Amino acid sequence: MRSDLGWLDALPATAKRALLAEAQAELDKDKLADYRPYPKQKEFHTLGKTMRERLLRAGNQNGKTYCCGSEVAYHLTGEYPDWWEGRRWSRPVIVWASGETGEATRDNPQRALLGFVGAEGTGSIPHRCLGLNHGNYGMASGVANLYDYIRVRHISGGWSLLKFKYYAQGQRKWQGPPVDLVWFDEEPPEDIYDEGLARTIATGGCAAMTFTPLKGMSNVVRRFLMDATDDRADINMTIHDAEHISAEERERIIRSFPAHERDARAKGIPTLGSGRIFPVDEDTIKVPAFAIPEHWPILGALDFGWDHPTAAVKIAWDRDSDCVYFVSAYRKREQTPLIHSGALKPWGAEMPWAWPHDGHQHDKGSGVQLAEQFRTHGLNMLHEHAQYPEQSDDTRVSRTSVEAGLADMLDRMQTERLKVFDHLLEWFEEFRLYHRKDGKVVKEGDDLMAASRYAIMMLRYAQVSRKQTVVHRPPPNWRV
């Protein structure tokens, strides 16, 4: 038998095409072996080992459905690749895969897992593992070509169960037996998400979501972006992380989106529309970290909190160009002034600190003003709360006006006189989501934005430090 492929060239063109088509058809029946995740996709997989709830928040056509479909196939079959660092099941599992409607479920998660209708076995689950024979599947009623369930052969010798659901069925249809994994492809209503998550309690299972956040700051999105826990992970994948899209094509795609949806569809940032307070491309205010020149004045600013986080920022002021640089950010909830002060004093022993009007409030236990407690613990608190200097020619605007502070920040952003070190991930998280509703600023998840506003209001008190030796560089493992 010949070991080379010279014989292939000798075949007639029609025979060659038929042979290649047959070979390709066989390869299509085991696509899972070819899956190689991008870094953000791999991060999503890896976090499944420790996180009960995961969200892959990504732009359109960035590979989010393909990513989770591949993971679901690994769990159903037990055929994990060598590079896999995520959760593993050594037994057959029960998985629910879902979408908004029956048609959407058929055309997205079902297609990703099984292949197109009539070509079952060309999706992420290998054809050889699908229970297409012997009655190991059932079709849903009311939606053409939608499977109700299908069994998948597990490497242990048993059968996993894959069941398809959709949100339009209503919450009652989501009540049922324990499930190991629930996959929500596209954002679910809050009651559906809660019901699906509840199905995983008895099994110690988990939930995974993959969607583009076009519904804005819904309660489901807010959980992951504003109410983070040790059991909940948000992975943001943008069009720039999708390696299958060329740089030229990315720019063309971004330009094709409506302006008010561009961030959501390209970067996975929740749509805020005209309500966004800072309608500025974040790339225009990002700068890499650098050593702060010793002659630049510095200032810290605090926003007090307990149930919501206490937040702090540090700014450095290049007076020659009148540009303010945000160089450090801190955000932590349910900690005492002693703990916060201990974390912030290394920013500068003599650095002055701006603080809001509520710093005058007395602690119910000690009776000491909140700002005074921070002063006692070593922070150089300014003698007055954050406010603009008195203007005798204009008494119409309050000296503590929120709108005036926001206008100053926006003006500086638009004139390139406000920059932010690009490793301050929590600062940019709030910046993206800071918005109005019915014309009013939404006072949730705005702690660092509030501290930033106080810093700009009190910029006149920034001072050159005699001991300014700290180099503000990102930690070794920082990510943008």
The answer to whether the CB of 182 falls within 8 A of the CB of 196 is yes
The distance from CA 363 to its chain's CA centroid, rounded to whole angstroms, is 36
Neighbour-count burial of 374, counting CB atoms closer than 10 A to its CB (0-12 exposed, 13-18 middle, 19+ buried): buried
Alpha-carbon distance 12 to 240, whole Å? 44
- Reply yes or no on whether 186 is catalytic: yes
| Cβ contact 225:445 at 8 Å | yes
Which of 53, 186, 187, 430 is the catalytic position? 186
Strand order in the sheet with 137-139: 137-139, 147-153, 159-166, 94-99, 181-185, 206-211, 53-58, 232-237
Determine contact, residues 244/301, Cβ cutoff 8 Å: no
State the residue for tokens 């897992």.
Answer: 113
Query: What's CA 349's distance to the chain center, in Å?
Result: 35
Compute CA distances 297 → 18, 60, 294, 375, whole Å: 74, 44, 8, 20
d(CA 61, CA 38): 14
Closest CA to 196 of 172, 223, 161: 172
Do 76 and 130 meet the contact criterion of CB atoms below 8 Å apart? no
β-strands 159-166, 94-99 pairing: parallel
Instruction: Tell me how far apart the alpha carbons of residues 47 and 87 are, in angstroms, rounded to a whole number.
Output: 8
Whether 23 contacts 62, CB under 8 Å: no
Instruction: List the beta bridge partners of residue 164.
Output: 97
Q: Which long-range contacts (CB under 8 A, 24 or more apart) does 166-174 make?
A: 166/98, 166/99, 166/100, 166/101, 166/102, 166/104, 166/105, 167/98, 167/99, 167/100, 167/101, 167/192, 168/100, 168/101, 168/102, 171/195, 174/199
Tell me how far apart the 2 most distant CA atoms of the chain are, in Å: 99
Contact (CB, 8 A) for 271 and 212: no
Q: What are phi and psi of 436, to 5 degrees?
A: -110, 155
Q: Which residues have a catalytic role annotated?
A: 186
